[in-house]
Structure 1
């Protein structure tokens, strides 16, 4: 399979796959020691939480932010291709899991939770459950493998579709989330709050 104009290395290294798994388990353990709840406080697990500003958002297996994590996988695949071009795909996956796990830990720290509450549309955000955070990393890995298999143009088309779809349905997406987290725009906040 040719992606990003070169052939993927044919062999996978089990030690890199093990490294990715260890990073994933470390993410879960760190979130546990940070005091994150394992599952939704409601006491049950849903496959998909449709409410954006509901107490169940970021608590179940998937939600409207799952496409953003799939796009993370697309982006991290591209980064791995740029910086680890000659390394096996499993080494690039380990890099992707490292970045995603680090973000999930940071995202669930008090400073970022408070920033989400003050600067984005996530006014009642209390952080992710461990289940949701783990599934965000799994979603990123799915996106990573999609990007490894599809032509670049198709990966870009899927990312644009996800951004437009979630932007239309919930007035939020990866682009808006990053913008509002880093440099909030009052006009965007007003538009999002009209949902």
Structure 2
């Protein structure tokens, strides 16, 4: 895809001026999983004394299946990111989702769980719980995703988010979150900032 085509696609997202000012912009979008798979995106956020965890499970069409948003006391960000993955994996297992793609914008959490990096000592108990939760999912894959392609989970992780947990049917989601879900489902391309 040429730069001009990307500028045309991104105009609707009000990012044209950014694209014109930058010559070496990378782009990303949320990839939809194969038909039999569900995709879980998770995130953690720090905001003063209150931290938040958020996650959303969507089907192959991008339609929301379940979501969560949890507030916690302040803690190390790598532990929070792993706790978000844990809550999401438990939710997927509870829903009986055996084909699940898990994504996090925390490279540290993904590499620790994938045994690429050594687990920080504070996160060892969380890692053990994650392994137990993943055992309940028959077919899963964990991967890193850029923050710009993880905006729904980012929204849910904000300590100001007003939902706690939403199951099927997914109703009463904030309009800003619904806008993000629709943009992701339509394959919106985001510049990597």
TM-score, normalization by structure 2: 0.27
Whose helix fraction is larger, Structure 1's or Structure 2's? 1
TM-score, normalization by structure 1: 0.27
